[in-house]
Amino acid sequence: MDIALLGGTGDIGEGLALRWANDTSHTVIVGSRDADKAAAKAEEYEAELDGREVDVAGLANEDAAARADVVVTAVPAYHLTDTVEAVADELDDTILVSPAVGMKRDEDGFHYNRPGVGSVTQLAAEAAPDGTPVVGAFHNLAAGRLADPEADLDWDTIVVGDDRDAKATVSELAEGIEGLRALDGGPLANAAEVEGLTPLLINVARHNDGLHDLGVQFR
């Protein structure tokens, strides 16, 4: 399967790119608004996984989306709508995945910044073309640990969406990453509850020694 990571030069994009390239046989395509930046990052990721047979491509976002079966918008929430709209013409039969979380910070810590439409994942759905299945996943992953292929994860990721087949595909992709378990969180309407966990995890990690790479596991 071909997976495009739009904004794949950022923290969460890097982690997912390295993990899928390292742990699976899927084709990983790093996307960026700047094609040269994407190509340079793809080379950097291949070098980091030196010794493994991996092939990571780097393309402009539109070209990355055009090649992909699954597109992950690994961009901050405030860039999400613009990013989806920019590649909308390339999303005909593509599954669109949003890991973005809207947050604001004050002197007390991080807080979930819920959009008026209900969730950031819903923002992606509203920007996507009609008929494009949108799935929320990978919201609560610590980017630093994710980007270290040698680090054990032992995490869960909650997958939400209204298209059952699309959720199943994204869950399979998630579980291709060693140590990551996908759990069905229900329809897209439940995305806000999942996204709201991220600022909680960041606040706990900030205030407790040894929990810098905190993740979620349900038992």
Residues 144, 150, 154: CA angle, nearest 5 degrees: 75
pLDDT single digits (tens) 6-53? 999 999 999 999 999 999 999 999 999 999 999 999 999 999 998 677
- N residues, the chain: 219
Pairwise CA distance, residues 6 & 72, whole Å: 6
Each residue's pLDDT tens digit in the chain (219 positions)?
Answer: 999 999 999 999 999 999 999 999 999 999 999 999 999 999 999 999 986 778 899 999 999 999 999 999 999 999 999 999 999 999 988 999 999 999 999 999 999 999 999 999 999 999 999 999 999 999 999 999 999 999 999 999 999 999 999 999 999 999 999 999 999 999 999 999 999 999 999 999 999 998 888 999 999
C-alpha distances in angstroms, 146 versus 131, 152, 166, 190, 193?
31, 9, 23, 24, 22
Question: Encoding tokens for residue 8?
Answer: 């794949």
Strands 27-32 and 56-60: parallel
CB atoms closer than 10 angstroms to residue 2: 15
Helix axes 11-23, 35-48, angle to 10 degrees: 50
Pairwise CA distance, residues 44 & 41, whole Å: 5
For the chain, the maximum distance between any two Cα atoms, rounded to a whole number of angstroms, is 47
Please, how many CA atoms are within 13 Å of residue 124, restricted to the half-sphere of its CB?
A: 34
Domains for the chain: give ranges and CATH numbers.
2-207 (3.40.50.720)
In the prediction, which pLDDT does 134 show? 98
pTM for the model stands at: 0.95
